[in-house]
Amino acid sequence: MKKYFKNIVWVLLALLGALAFSTIALSRNESINAVWFITAAVCIYMIAYRFYASWIAAKVLVIDEHRKTPALRLQNDKDFIPTDKWIVFGHHFAAIAGPGPLVGPTLAAQFGYLPGMLWILIGAVLGGAVQDMTTLFFSTRRNGKSLGQMARDEIGVIGGTASLIGTFLIMVILIAVLGLVVVNAMKHSPWATSTVAATIPIAIFIGIYLRSIRTGRVLEASLIGFGLLLLAVFAGGLIDHSQTLRTYFDHDSLTLAWAIIFYGFAAAVLPVWLLLAPRDYLSTFVKLGTVIVLAVAIITLQPEIKMPALTQFTDGTGPIFGGSLFPFVFITIACGSISGFHSLIASGTTPKLLDNEKYIPMIGYGAMLLESFVAIMALIAATVLEPGIFFAINSPVGVVGSEAVDAIQKINSWGFKVTVEEMELLAKNMGETSLFARTGGAPSLAVGMANIFGKAFGTNLLAMWYHFAIMFEAIFILTTLDAGTRVGRFMLQDMIGNIYPKFGQTSWMPSIILSSAIVVSCWGYFLYIGVIDPNGGVNILWPLFGIANQMLAAIALSVGTGILIKSNKLKYAWVTGLPLIWLIIVTTTAAYQKIFSQDIRVGFLAAARNLTDKINTGLIEDSKISITHQLIFNQKLDAFITLFLLIILWTVVIDMLRISFFKKN
């Protein structure tokens, strides 16, 4: 009877999910409620977790709860520590969910809400969560080995080297693009700049508090820090209203880019306890709190989605980034759907903490579903805005022009209504002087979040909510930026240490300074490219990051598929093989288009040729010729990097197939 009842509940859940999903998918030219998004997502996650994840665990991976995990067998009180399942879940989720699931869906909203929503749900359930779970399982069964090590063991030196290079490249491009997102959110905004700047001394204070005043009192320090962060948002408002103080924080993109570069260097060189660790604690609390409040607000308010299901930009003419729906929606939304970077965490600390294999579905599959849910909320926050406002905030100067009137005219010509007065009023309400051309996704997401929070808790505090949301996003981003720079530094020290062992000593000061400077220069250069690019930088950098990230996912899935085939489970190889094939198609098409497309907003080489022609025909002013030469070089460099990534991907996949089918052990 009990089983019968349970089955009925699952059938009802499936029907509800199908109803929500079809309502979203089939609605055209009519307003749709955000609650349908939440319902569809939750039903799909529950069914996927209960049936698909359980089936993979039982049949494909054959999880054995009586088998001792590396944390138990190799317990050393250093890396291998058996840990409570909820702590491992918290650690894993905090590590995988950065700003990616917030930024990607916001940018992809230029295609309408439907493609993004479908890819977030289907990609996470059939791809992302499967990748995370299988990698976690395979690493756990191999004493917690890293992805690079597994690739080297299972595929060969090529696989291992490819994942190492891939990781470093992603790190560099990811940091650059995230730096760009923060810069665009802060440019000429004294309130946002002062609030984000205040997070640094607050983190340092918390670091000193935790180390010297109340050692290890994480909870207490985090609560004090959270209070100080709220105070910083409030104080930012006062600074913004003061004519003298606001000038100290009113800067253009380039100055802010230099500040971020300097910050990244400082974070990589300074001791972890002073800046990185306390910022990490603060970000965890701010992240969890804000995401929960946002979910509650969306469920209570049930906002209407204003963006159409599909926009005319599916043909590739979108203002935010060039490129058609296929393949670019699939690489724009990486985190939240499928992200290769997760496999590094799933084969890093997580398998070394796990005390029973039976928690692998909950941690590997479940944490990814939760991240996907964060991406759905970001998509809702972006699509509840009037489309005209969304495009006015996110369209770069190079596309709509630098004057407000021109920008509005252009956006109106696309069929999205918005007026200069509306934008001025919105900017005033948000405590900003202008919200035009605030590319990168962070400001439009913050406006969306502020609207939702404002409706839930009072519209008189809109400016406060907007800057709170900016601070929330900046904290996420800076945590990835500083930790990423440090990781890049370690990677470089390791690599150079193979040639010159002294350099490999991670505490040797000359090595620390030199390697940090190299890593910062690498991403700083790309950040600089983004800042000087008239198309907003996101157009160049985000697809590059997406291609690199999805390529790493393909490497992780190749390793998984190879292991399945080699362990005589060919009939189940489709579990990792299908998302792998999809990613190969998507990344190859995207890379091909980014290199060879004749459209100057898509193809790197076409853009370079176009700029060269402009110089030759005298269309570029003399003062801008040197910067144009730099842009030409950058476009060619991006084309080269994309080609390089593509070659690595195909080499790994072909090698995996060769080893799986033709080389019998």
Partner 1 sequence: MYAFLRRLSGDDLYDLYLLNHKRCLKKHKLMSKKNFYQATLDKKWSGIKRCC
Site for partner 1, rule CB under 8 A: 75, 77-79, 84, 86-87, 90, 95-96, 98-101, 167, 174, 210-211, 215-220, 222, 272-273, 276-277, 281, 284-285, 334-335, 339, 341-342, 344-345, 348-349, 479-480, 483-484, 486-487, 490, 506, 549
Query: Distance between CA 196 and CA 442 in Å, rounded?
Result: 13
Rounded to whole angstroms, the Cα distance separating 377 from 381 reads 6
- 8 Å CB contact between 515 and 489: yes
The residues pairing with 304 across neighbouring beta strands, listed in sequence order, are 33
The stretches of 533-624 forming alpha helices (DSSP H) are 538-566, 574-596, 604-616
Helices (H) and strands (E) in the chain, counts: 31, 2
Which residue spans within 190-331 are E strands per DSSP? 304-305
Q: Which is nearer to partner 1, 250 or 473 (CB)?
A: 473
**What's the residue count for the chain?**
665
Nearest distance in Å: CB 290, partner 1: 16
The minimum distance between CB 496 and partner 1, in angstroms, equals: 17
Token pair recorded at residue 401: 């022009």
Distance CA 471, CA 484 (A): 19
Judge whether 129 and 53 are in contact, CB under 8 Å. yes
Q: Tell me how far, at minimum, the Cβ of 390 lies from partner 1, in Å.
A: 22
Contact 54, 21 (CB under 8 A): no
Nearest residue to 580 via CA among 74, 127, 264: 127
Structure tokens at 534: 């008239």
Q: Which two tokens stand for residue 224?
A: 């004090």
Minimal distance, residue 602 CB to partner 1, in Å: 23
Question: How far is Cα 482 from Cα 264, in angstroms, rounded to an integer?
Answer: 5
For partner 1, the closer of residues 34 and 554 by Cβ is 554
Least distance (Å) from partner 1 to the CB of residue 68? 15
Count of beta carbons in the 10 Å neighbourhood of residue 541: 26
C-beta closer to partner 1: residue 339 or 444: 339
Structure tokens at 47: 């069914």
- Output 174 or 192, the one with its CB closest to partner 1: 174
**Residue placing its CB nearer to partner 1 in the complex, 132 or 250:** 132
Please state the closest distance from residue 554 (CB atom) to partner 1, in A.
16
Q: Taking the complex as a whole, how short is the minimal distance between the CB of residue 85 and partner 1, in angstroms?
A: 11
Per-residue burial over 236-245, b = 16 or more CB atoms within 10 Å of its CB, e = otherwise: bbebbeeeee
Which residue lies nearer to partner 1 by CB, 75 or 434?
75
Of residues 65, 115, 199, 86, the one with CA closest to residue 478: 199
Are 575 and 125 in contact, with CB atoms under 8 Å apart? no
Of 353, 351, 359, whose CA–CA distance to 144 is shortest? 351
- Closest to partner 1 by CB, 77 or 621: 77
Q: Which is nearer to partner 1, 316 or 530 (CB)?
A: 530
CB distance 549 to 339 below 8 Å: yes
Angle between helices 509-532 and 253-269 (to 10 degrees): 160
Q: Least distance (Å) from partner 1 to the CB of residue 461?
A: 28
Residue whose CB is less far from partner 1, 93 or 321: 93
In the complex, the smallest distance separating the C-beta of residue 556 from partner 1, rounded to whole angstroms, is 12
Nearer to partner 1, 235 or 272 (CB): 272
| Closest distance of CB 105 from partner 1, Å | 12
Q: Least distance from C-beta 410 to partner 1, angstroms?
A: 32
Whose Cβ is closer to partner 1: residue 146's or residue 597's? 146
Nearest C-alpha neighbor of 432 from the set 193, 177, 199, 231:
193
